[in-house]
Amino acid sequence: MKPKNTICLWFHNDAQEAARFYAATFPDSRVIAVHKAPGDYPGGKQGDVLMVEFTVLGTACLGLNGGPAFKHSEAFSFQIATDNQEETDRYWNAIVGNGGQESACGWCKDRWGLSWQITPRVLMDALAAGGGEAKRVFAAMMTMRKIDVATIEAARRG
């Protein structure tokens, strides 16, 4: 059964490649279907891959090969909650190590320009706690690229 809400992501010609990467990187992720264009369109020709249905951690997505007109921006990102440093490292390294780019505060971009927040749960819990704990953790986070769980935990304790 098709979900009522699906995230549609615009790609140039590589939606299928991106979907395969996401499916191989994240659990509960898979490529569901590949649809070819029934006719020529501004971004491609009849028979080219037009749409790719896939999931990322169970979230329904559609990759649309619409052409070069639109680029991804930080205005949209996937936020991936991680349980420990090992999981944080695994996802971060997969994205950055596969042609991606580091950014600040746990953010990175994949090689297709999509933004990802690789966010340990301990960070979100500490920020939600408020007060001095949140201030210390926020200050520590602001100095990081990939989130260091041990540093966050130390900042929580004061």
Cα 45 to Cα 28: distance, rounded to the nearest angstrom: 32
Band of residue 1 on the pLDDT scale cut at 50, 70, 90: confident
Token pair in block for residue 1: 């059964």
Token pair in block for residue 115: 């933004």
Cα 136 to Cα 126: distance, rounded to the nearest angstrom: 9
CA geometry: angle 148, 123, 89, nearest 5 deg: 35
For the segment 118-153, what is each residue's pLDDT rounded down to a tens digit? 999 999 999 999 999 999 999 999 999 999 999 999
For the segment 85-103, what is each residue's pLDDT rounded down to a tens digit? 999 999 999 999 999 999 9
Sheet order of strands, 30-36 included: 7-11, 59-65, 49-56, 30-36
CB contact at 8 A, 26 and 56:
yes
